[in-house]
Copies of this chain bind each other. A is one copy, B any other.
Amino acid sequence: MMDSLEKMGQQAQAAERELSQLATPVKNQVLGQMAQALRQNQAEIMLANQHDLNQATDLPMNFVDRLTLTAQRIEQMALGLEKVASLPDPIGNIEKGWQTEQGLKIEQQRVPLGVIGIIYEARPNVTADAFALTFKSGNAVILRGGKEALQTNISIVEFLQAVLKQNGLNPHAIQIVQDTSHETASEMMQLTDYIDVLIPRGSARLIKAVVDQAKVPVIETGAGNCHIYVDEFAQLDMASQIIVNAKTQRPSVCNAAEKIVIHSAVAQEYLPKIAEALKPFNVELRGDERAQAILPDITPATEADWGTEYNDYIMAIKVVDSLDEAIEHINHYNTKHSEAIVTDNYEHSEQFLNQIDAACVYVNASTRFTDGFEFGFGAEIGISTQKLHARGPMGLNQLTSTKYVIRGNGQIRH
């Protein structure tokens, strides 16, 4: 019998009380045993995955690809669990501490957020990855994955829960919503009594739906529309290396560059060069009228282009007459994810860093570095594009809150 969402919420809160007090070595040992459990039960997980794949005959190839588990992908999931076990535990850290004039000793201590809900699409690797991060940071998690991956997800969760039970721990540290109807997803988004924060992971459409519907606080992740601004004082070779990398190294991800903004003083010289550099990757170029005048073969860019995240081998070019105009254009159309300037002018670099409103702002580097691993966080649950709570790559620390612990000896307020 399936548990109701409310029951799952109660169970998660009960597990959370235990999790918040769990010693770091216990958490690490559990994660290590879970990695082994996934490896040992690889065949059974792949069988469950096969059931899902048998139902997925009408779905697009890239969808089926993301749904498919191979021995290698299960090994990656296991390595992910082991990696998180090796990361420092943020819980209990003292962020700040001071003594007041009346002699109260105040400490700001890191504590778990509580119960985290993750809503995601049919990518079974998210199941183990999201659990590892929420568990290590002392949170209980309720997962709601895409219905096409349900059998795979149930199988993974059962093996993880078995390890919790073997260690005498509450298995409800991880739960998966088995009723994958839209109604249940909506209900989960209203579960303010039990879920402290929702993190949607997936397409812009999924994230927007959650933000629009949820009463539970949401952390928005992942929508990108990154720009590379080629300044009049740019090293043009460097600009080409950065643009080619930011566009083509992995075009489907949110930190890939979608737009070139270029100063008119160098557009005539540079646009043919970058077009040439992108040619081997079959990048379709679009452009405004001034870009088209220089590159007559490119597609005209429409207003819709400037706000679009292509996630594909497409790039649009905007020609501007000043850094101010570039900053205005970028701040207007970006998703506040990652933006870069290529320049050798100090003042321009500082102005860009100060005035661009985004989670990550770069000088002379590829936007592809916006990533928890590249930032040295060891892992990430997503890239937050909102300003509240967490901004940019979210590692273990970003899955926590704090509380003030105050020790006195009888102080009263006057």
Q: What is the CB-to-nearest-CB distance from A371 to chain B, in angstroms, rounded to a whole number? A: 8
Determine the distance from Cα of A238 to Cα of B410 in the docked complex, in whole angstroms: 6
Determine the distance from Cα of A245 to Cα of B212 in the docked complex, in whole angstroms: 45
Residue contact B411 to A365, C-beta cutoff 8 Å: yes
Of the candidates B212, B358, B361, B413, the one whose C-beta lies within 8 Å of that of A366 is B413
Could you say which residues of chain B place their CB within 8 Å of the CB of A24?
A: none
Could you say which residues of chain B place their CB within 8 Å of the CB of A114?
A: 357, 387
Of the candidates B100, B368, B374, B405, the one whose C-beta lies within 8 Å of that of A100 is B374
Determine the distance from Cα of A249 to Cα of B374 in the docked complex, in whole angstroms: 52
The verdict on A251 contacting chain B, using a C-beta distance below 8 Å, is no
- Closest residue on chain B to residue A235 by CB atoms: B410
Could you say which residues of chain B place their CB within 8 Å of the CB of A196?
A: 387-388
Determine the distance from Cα of A366 to Cα of B409 in the docked complex, in whole angstroms: 10
Q: What is the CB-to-nearest-CB distance from A10 to chain B, in angstroms, rounded to a whole number? A: 12
Determine the distance from Cα of A307 to Cα of B369 in the docked complex, in whole angstroms: 48
Check A113/B217 contact, CB under 8 A, given A100-B374, A365-B410.
no
Q: What is the CB-to-nearest-CB distance from A117 to chain B, in angstroms, rounded to a whole number? A: 13
Copies in the complex: 2
Q: Chain A contact residues (Cβ within 8 angstroms of B): what range?
A: 35 or more
Residue contact A363 to B408, C-beta cutoff 8 Å: yes
Residue contact B403 to A249, C-beta cutoff 8 Å: no
Residue contact A362 to B212, C-beta cutoff 8 Å: no
Of the candidates B242, B358, B360, the one whose C-beta lies within 8 Å of that of A412 is B242
Residue contact A361 to B412, C-beta cutoff 8 Å: no
Which residues, 101 to 127 on A, are CB-close (under 8 Å) to B? 102, 104, 106, 111, 113-114
Which residues, 199 to 226 on A, are CB-close (under 8 Å) to B? 211-212, 215, 217-219
Check A404/B392 contact, CB under 8 A, given A104-B365, A366-B412.
yes
Which residues, 332 to 376 on A, are CB-close (under 8 Å) to B? 349, 353-355, 357-366, 368-370, 374-376
Q: What is the CB-to-nearest-CB distance from A379 to chain B, in angstroms, rounded to a whole number? A: 16
Residue contact B242 to A358, C-beta cutoff 8 Å: no
Residue contact B98 to A376, C-beta cutoff 8 Å: yes
- Closest residue on chain B to residue A331 by CB atoms: B17
Q: Which of A219, A357, A388 has the most CB of B within 10 A?
A: A388
The verdict on A286 contacting chain B, using a C-beta distance below 8 Å, is no
Could you say which residues of chain B place their CB within 8 Å of the CB of A235?
A: 410
- Closest residue on chain B to residue A393 by CB atoms: B404
- Closest residue on chain B to residue A99 by CB atoms: B376
Check A355/B388 contact, CB under 8 A, given A406-B360, A413-B245.
no
Q: What is the CB-to-nearest-CB distance from A241 to chain B, in angstroms, rounded to a whole number? A: 6
Check A404/B360 contact, CB under 8 A, given A388-B197, A412-B245, A413-B245.
yes
Nearest 5 pairs of A and B residues by beta carbon: A365-B408, A245-B412, A387-B401, A368-B413, A389-B389
**Apart from the given pairs A106-B375, A235-B410, A374-B413, 14 other A-B contacts in the complex at a CB distance below 8 Å:** A104-B365, A114-B387, A192-B211, A196-B387, A197-B388, A249-B412, A349-B407, A360-B403, A360-B404, A363-B406, A363-B407, A365-B412, A375-B404, A388-B388
